[in-house]
Structure 1
């Protein structure tokens, strides 16, 4: 399996070098988390355009050959459909994608169309999207960080705790990582290990360039990660309410006794 991955990486590098040599434009890579906003630059934008009226943006999904025209002569194209409200073109003809989803990874090509219909070589940007989730089963909590790419395996994913690597053989923890996903399972029933979600970070490294991005963990709800904390809050609120009722009853009783004596 490892040998196949090495072969894929080698072929991908050769392909990139060949395409760059033909077009003269470097391929760009962007990795963002779902829900974030990303700006994809157009490396071959022409000068003297009126609102990017000579710019097209094309999109190809991973594993498919069909091309979708997202931007047509500077305007959001009809083929953009459901994601049209999340797309916009910047003044420099870059493509802005708001609230990135797992449907957005793939190849984005910026194409310049000159007068007479002559087209330039495409400037290509590959977009990858990181997602993080948590799942609880009884006393075990599992954090997952995964990357959806343009189809080529070029990322290494792993979890960090307080910015440091963690020994995979630690008691009550199960840690695994790969080129697509990293998971971390720990037991919350032991009082000696009560992590806080903001201490976890997903590290995504580009296997070719060595560049990496850090994504602090955050889920839709952190309550599921810390049932003990939730119980503590409930108990504290209950005790506070009971104390207020007790004080109110005591005040009412004393007031009534004074009236009776009077």
Structure 2
């Protein structure tokens, strides 16, 4: 009976870990890129037992329309072949992204019998647009995100990697759905300084954080570099490690509880066996020993 209980507990623990891993692996990926940049859409559900992605299909959905981009590892005629590329890991690369490319990209796996295998891998692609306007002696930098699935992004400006100081009266910030702006006197920061000191931080779904630099007016290509932090593909690294640590702690806790319960039961069994070996006779004040084998030859 005790062994059966331990087996049930172990099975429950395995199911819990599998559920945690599945929840982590199936998180949707929110990816933002600048207009004109290249976007790599990973397929987190890809099967590794296929050759040349012949079991991979990519679908693009916007509004109520769905277009097949890739089927059986081949780019479909419905897609613009000159703007798409398929990698050896079955990821789709979109070259020179425009607002027309914004939408949902679904990676789906099939076996040789054309039956779907596993769950879909979803990438939600959005584009970031950054503008600069000067009115009299003030410059306004604006950062906005274009998406097709409703605004699940928060946008804010950073100065030297930190939140813009609210006590600085010379710098004004404002934010709305999927956009933010920062305004300051032209005398404070030159064109090169703006691209080096200010960054636009875009957070999708509360965990995927990307930062973008404003374009320098003197044509500095370095200012247009996009850096991504705290992302993990279908899931981010910090969230993945948090789930892993919690799972390990839970495993250790359950093992400790099972060991403690087993130890308590063993101690109780030993105590009961000890009680059954000795019997006191209250009437004649003698002690009788039960369950003892008589000596040989008796």
TM-score scaled by length of structure 1 = 0.65
Cα separation, 1, equivalents of 2:168 and 2:100: 36
Partner of residue 50, structure 2:
49
Partner of residue 154, structure 1:
152
Contact 2:30–2:204 at 8 Å: present in 1 too? no
The number of residue pairs the alignment matches comes to: 194
Deviation of the 1:172 alpha carbon = 4.5
Partner of residue 194, structure 1:
189
| Runs (5+) with no aligned partner, structure 2 | 1-21, 220-298
* Deviation digits for residues 13-35 of structure 1 (CA, Å, limit 9, x no counterpart): xxxxxxx87xx833222222333
Matched, 1:74 2:69: no
3-state DSSP of counterpart to 2:78: helix
3-state DSSP of counterpart to 2:53: coil
Contact 2:128–2:145 at 8 Å: present in 1 too? yes
3-state DSSP of counterpart to 2:79: helix
Cα separation, 2, equivalents of 1:174 and 1:222: 24
Partner of residue 59, structure 1:
60
* Deviation digits for residues 103-150 of structure 1 (CA, Å, limit 9, x no counterpart): 222211011222232123322111222221112233332211111224
Partner of residue 37, structure 1:
38
Contact 1:168–1:176 at 8 Å: present in 2 too? no
Q: Which has the larger radius of gyration?
A: 2
Cα separation, 2, equivalents of 1:114 and 1:207: 32
Relative to 1, partners in 2 of residues 1:91 and 1:135: Cα closer, same or farther, differing over 3 Å? same
Cα separation, 1, equivalents of 2:162 and 2:27: 33
- 1:61-210 to structure 2, matched below 5 A, reads 61=62, 64-81=63-80, 84-120=81-117, 121-168=119-166, 170-188=168-186, 191=187, 193-195=188-190, 196-197=193-194, 198-209=196-207
Cα separation, 1, equivalents of 2:113 and 2:154: 45
| Runs (5+) with no aligned partner, structure 1 | 1-19, 224-262
Question: Which is further off, 122-131 or 88-97?
Answer: 122-131
Question: Which is further off, 198-207 or 64-73?
Answer: 198-207
Deviation of the 1:43 alpha carbon = 2.0
* Deviation digits for residues 146-199 of structure 1 (CA, Å, limit 9, x no counterpart): 1122423221111112222223464454311234001122332xx4x2342221
* Deviation digits for residues 47-69 of structure 1 (CA, Å, limit 9, x no counterpart): 332321221110112xx011011
Cα separation, 1, equivalents of 2:103 and 2:54: 24
3-state DSSP of counterpart to 2:99: coil
Question: Which is further off, 167-176 or 129-138?
Answer: 167-176
Relative to 1, partners in 2 of residues 1:140 and 1:40: Cα closer, same or farther, differing over 3 Å? same
Cα separation, 1, equivalents of 2:214 and 2:181: 12
Partner of residue 15, structure 1:
none
Relative to 1, partners in 2 of residues 1:212 and 1:46: Cα closer, same or farther, differing over 3 Å? closer
TM-score scaled by length of structure 2 = 0.58
